[in-house]
Copies of this chain bind each other. A is one copy, B any other.
Amino acid sequence: MLLHLCTWTEVEAYLEQSQGIILPIGSTEQHGPTGLIGTDAICAETIAHGVGEATHALVAPTINVGMALHHLAFPGSMSLRPSTLILVIRDYLTALSRAGFTRFFFINGHGGNVATLKAAFSEVYAHLVDLNVPRADRVQCQVNNWYLCSTVNKLAKELYGNQEGSHATPSEVALTQYVYPDAIKQAPLSTSVSQEHKIFGAADFRRRYPDGRMGSNPALATPEHGQQFYELAVKELSGAYLQFLAGE
């Protein structure tokens, strides 16, 4: 169930059965010469919709723009400040908590979001207490990075070995190819790509990773791989969601 395609009365009915909701969060940032700027949002959204279907869970609208300040030296990249993203999460969860939701399951497509999301969760727990929101003490948030699913990781290693890299990876590119087969891009990719993992500011990032990739070879991606990744992630995260709901 997509929240956007529900009426408020349907949400009211849903809340009588479940207080859980899935929130996809991605990013809008360069993904190398062939990766889509929306890669992280597309992956998170697609998988979240799959998990929502599989578990009959409500799925909130995707947070398309995340924390990608380090990518801003590449045109087309967008970002929220961490301090802004914390406020966005706070506003989202305040509204939803007041309505009765208590379990917030974020499906995340971008490593750069994780720290800020976790910081935001702490801020939210305290904020809800400040507001005397009923059942504030029952609210739980969890971030789930689809690309860290063990089954996803295993397949990525099998398919790409150390050419998976850590940004603009073939696995995430494959998933976008599966979702948007008409938007598969071709461009020459230098074979000498930095194997570093360091991330500091935006200018530094572009100096270190001139075409935007971090150790990856996205030319290995295929839509068929993408489908596999999709299915593995949906399966693994569906389990994780149900476990999250069932947990104390």
Contacts and interface: CB of A to CB of B under 8 A. Distances in A.
Interface residues of A, number: 94
Interface stretch (A48-56, A65-73, A154-162, A233-241): A65-73
Contacts of A80: 87-88, 91
Given A8-B30, A9-B187, A122-B112, A136 B201 contact: yes
A202 B15 CA distance: 19
B84 A8 contact: no
A83 B136 CA distance: 20
**Number of chain copies forming the complex:** 6
A74 B198 contact: no
A64 interface: yes
A134 interface: no
A41 interface: yes
Interface of A: 2-12, 15, 28, 30-38, 41-42, 60-62, 64-65, 67, 69-70, 72, 74-84, 86-88, 90-92, 95-96, 98-100, 112, 114-123, 125-126, 128-132, 136-141, 180, 183, 185, 187, 198, 200-204, 207-208, 212, 247-248
9 closest residue pairs by CB, A with B: A4-B38, A11-B76, A125-B201, A115-B118, A61-B64, A8-B30, A82-B119, A137-B203, A75-B99
24 contacts: A2-B38, A3-B76, A3-B78, A4-B41, A6-B76, A7-B33, A8-B30, A8-B32, A11-B37, A28-B61, A65-B91, A79-B95, A80-B87, A81-B87, A82-B122, A82-B123, A114-B115, A125-B200, A125-B202, A126-B202, A129-B202, A129-B203, A136-B203, A198-B247
